[in-house]
Amino acid sequence: MNLRKALLFLACCICAASVASAQTEIAFWHALSGGLKDRLDAQVQAFNAAQTDYRVIATRKGNYGETLDAGIAAFETGSAPAILMVSDVDAPALSATAGLTRPLHEILTAATPGFDDRIYINGVKAHFSTAEGDLQSLPYNTSTPVLWVNRDALISFGLDPDVDLSTWEQVGDVLGQLKAAGSACPMTTSWQTWIHLENFSAYHDLPYASEANGFGEGQPTLMLNGPGQVAHIDALALWAREETFIYTGRRNAGGVKFRAGDCVLFTDTSAAYASITTTAEFDVAVRQLPYWAALVEAPQNTMASGASLWVLEGQSPEAYRAVAAFLTFLSSAAIQAKWHQDTGYLPITYEATQLTRAQGYYAVNPGTDVAITQMLPDAVTDNSRGLRLGALDQIRGIIDEELEAVWAGEADAQTALDNAKRRGDAVLRRFDRSTP
């Protein structure tokens, strides 16, 4: 290499090093694997390629619990990531730890004068905000429950595949007809507590816990044993005795039976769209979650549950500007529309929904907009905003146990939900004592 070429090469190296050193790098720890991890990595790569000021380094740290533990441990040693993916059930423990997180609305407002969080779908945003509506973390992989329908099975049992299933009263009539026509599984469910108590309460604007479902300042107590909730569990118990509601387990064994064509109706997460439509060998429809006309004239909103991206304290001003740029990028219509279409998760902005519709996705994939429609009331209420309850996974386990006694005919709905409240409240008080 001659002198001129050597000097040119050296200049290029110096220039590249200068650009690299000017970049602000931030760490993003998450819990996704498989195809979801690949899609997340693609988003990160697109952001890094779109500008030269910032670089995001995404790392999977295990499941949600392992990721949370790793983030807290790193914070204690001064090596925490800037962004941490956290399941909504762990959010109370995270937000209860003073000085650990920085509210997202502060970061976005500081970095973007005139920032308006009304770009986010209100029903989606609410679960990840304060009681005053200030965004604490960015909703990422979130979903809400819907009603799945095997249209071919309805036809085979002599029913109209487009029969109205808007209310639980109508569903009850259809379940009876299906049983009479020979169906061995007219309806099943996944995630019974999440769907039939937590979201049921929000959808009917009923309190699930005091203190605005835990978003208030005081210590919440469970209120899941009210007349409305008891009436719904009573109805499911009757259907269980009549063998029109078939209980298949606490998690998602019902999904296996539905996808196999064994069950006609199925309440499950909206995010199951890809797994159901690609494996089920029958005509599938997605309907809104039914409501009881005896309780409300029209339903409120269901809740957006899942993981969100929290920003940890202890970062430099440049790092927080990088965080703002990256999370603004993730909120853009193009990124959100693609994420929604690729995964079945809820889009988080109105513009992403409009773009998805304009691209024809909803027309080609009917039912994929149903979950969004459930999230679109003008305003959430204290009962429909979401849940901010400590040790929620443990409480759900208790409720599952009590509901199983109802399905087995060993307890009535009122007794079971009273027991769930008593036992769940004890868990809440232990959580309060452990997170001062």
Q: What CATH code is carried by the domain that includes residue 98? A: 3.40.190.10
Same domain (yes/no): 150, 276: yes
Q: Could you report the per-residue pLDDT of 165-185, keeping only the tens digit for each?
A: 999 999 999 999 999 999 999
Q: Does 383 map to a domain?
A: no
Last residue in a domain, options 374, 402, 425? 374
Encoded amino acid at 363, one letter: A
Over residues 342-357, the mean pLDDT reads: 96
Q: How many CA atoms lie within 13 A of 181 on its CB side?
A: 17
Over residues 242-251, the mean pLDDT reads: 96
- Tell me the C-alpha distance between 418 and 315, whole Å: 46
Owning domain of residue 203 = 145-302+390-434
Strand segments, DSSP code E, in 254-339 are 265-269, 284-287, 305-312
Last residue in a domain, options 323, 346, 374? 374
Same domain (yes/no): 282, 425: yes
- Tell me the C-alpha distance between 91 and 89, whole Å: 6
Q: Does 380 map to a domain?
A: no
Q: Does 382 map to a domain?
A: no
Same domain (yes/no): 174, 285: yes
Q: Does 381 map to a domain?
A: no
Same domain (yes/no): 310, 219: no
436: confidence class by pLDDT, cuts 50, 70, 90: low
pLDDT above 70 (res 214): yes
Same domain (yes/no): 272, 406: yes
Same domain (yes/no): 218, 348: no
Q: Pairing state of beta strands 284-287 and 138-143?
A: unpaired
Same domain (yes/no): 280, 213: yes
Q: Could you report the per-residue pLDDT of 290-306, keeping only the tens digit for each?
A: 999 999 999 999 999 99
Structure tokens at 428: 């809440």
pTM, full prediction: 0.92
Same domain (yes/no): 101, 12: yes
Same domain (yes/no): 111, 188: no
Instruction: State residue 306 phi and psi, 5-degree precision.
Output: 145, -155
Over residues 119-136, the mean pLDDT reads: 93
Name residue 268's beta-bridge partners.
146
Q: Does 399 map to a domain?
A: yes
346: confidence class by pLDDT, cuts 50, 70, 90: very high
Same domain (yes/no): 128, 14: yes
Same domain (yes/no): 170, 190: yes
Residue 15 pLDDT: 44
Question: What's the chain's average pLDDT?
Answer: 93
> Number of folded domains in the chain?
2
**Any idea what DSSP says for residue 414?**
H
Q: What percent of the chain has pLDDT over 90?
A: 87
Same domain (yes/no): 292, 368: no
Residue 8 pLDDT: 45
Q: Could you report the per-residue pLDDT of 134-155, keeping only the tens digit for each?
A: 999 999 999 999 999 999 999 9
Q: Does 385 map to a domain?
A: no
